Structure 1
Amino acid sequence: METQNFNIRIDVPLPAAEIMNKIANVPAWWGVGFEGKADQQGDQFVIKMGPEAYFNCTVSEVVPGKKLVWTVDECFMPWYTDKTEWTGTKMIFDLEEQAKQTNLTFTHEGLTPQSECYKDCKPGWTHWISRSLMSYLTTGKGDFQQR
């Protein structure tokens, strides 16, 4: 049975440092309620989805131009049996700068096909990274119309 963490890669025609700065502007590409800061290691922020759902996160690792890691410290997802399934998971942005582009690999460590939310989270992350984040990085505007 597959136990691989969800991941997706996009190739962006921008320098890695610029991409890292833009990822930290979460509401511009994720289209969620957002409180706090996501710029530097140790920053804490809350992502809100609707009136009840939330994800309390910490920027747990920053390697300038190379890697950004957000750890979910606590969450509440009212629509699932395991309402705290994302607690302890990590959202990892790995960047590898090439000559004219940066390869960005997003991994949600702990989100596997065995996760209750995987069937919803896989297409969700696919949209938010490959469409909305990519659009924000290249045009300055995220794509909030999930298809």
Structure 2
Amino acid sequence: MSATDFTSTIKVDQSPQEVFDAVTNVRGWWSEEIEGNTAQLNDVFDYHYEDVHRCKIKLIEVIENQKVVWLVEENYFKFTQDKTEWTGTKPTFEIAEKDGKTELLFTHFGLTSEYECFQICRDAWTNYIQNSLKKLITTGKGEPNANGKPQTENEKKLSEK
């Protein structure tokens, strides 16, 4: 079995600019507890979810209305043997107009089925992209983690471990 990077795609009626603005508004769809800037090249931000997951992310490529690439510089998982599984991986957001709609292709390069966190991370990213980010784009309000409250069933399970 070959390793495949995790991907998730959404299509919306909003413009590439609106999708780009939502993607770079990380507090609006991933977590309200982000520290640092999240929109421009070389911005660095810290994410944490309770004592379960922490990471430091740098924006290494930003092409307005087209692409945003994050580099996970540091990562800590409480629930995996290798606490640094995401370190060096590249969550990537690619925006393109297709058939009168705007398509957002999210690929977490380096997050493969070989990772111990894969199932939990896959489920969490799917929720953040397909649900929270899509709502932020289409309604102006996402469903980020707020004040340490679990967002998904998986996160609820993790915080109970």
Shift of 1:24: 1.4
Gaps of 5+ in 2: 145-150, 154-161
The letter for the 2-side match of 1:2 is: S
Write the distance in 1 (CA, Å) between the matches of 2:6 and 2:102: 20
Q: TM-score, with normalisation over the residues of structure 2?
A: 0.85
Shift of 1:77: 0.9
- Matched with 2:143 is 143
Write the distance in 2 (CA, Å) between the matches of 1:99 and 1:53: 38
- Return 118-127 or 20-29, whichever deviates more: 20-29
2:107 matched to 1:107?
A: yes
- Return 115-124 or 90-99, whichever deviates more: 90-99
Shift of 1:19: 1.2
Distance 1:5 1:32, change over 3 A: farther
- Matched with 1:24 is 24
Write the distance in 2 (CA, Å) between the matches of 1:27 and 1:134: 14
The letter for the 1-side match of 2:27 is: P
Write the distance in 2 (CA, Å) between the matches of 1:18 and 1:142: 13
- Matched with 2:49 is 49
Shift of 1:45: 0.5
Write the distance in 2 (CA, Å) between the matches of 1:135 and 1:8: 15
Shift of 1:146: 2.5
Write the distance in 1 (CA, Å) between the matches of 2:124 and 2:116: 14
Shift of 1:15: 1.1
The alignment covers a number of residue pairs equal to 147
Shift of 1:52: 5.7
Write the distance in 1 (CA, Å) between the matches of 2:77 and 2:32: 14
Query: Structure 1 vs Structure 2: percent identity of aligned residues?
Result: 37
CA contact (8 A) 2:52 2:79 kept: no
CA contact (8 A) 1:32 1:47 kept: no
Shift of 1:32: 5.0
- Return 12-21 or 87-96, whichever deviates more: 12-21
Gaps of 5+ in 1: none
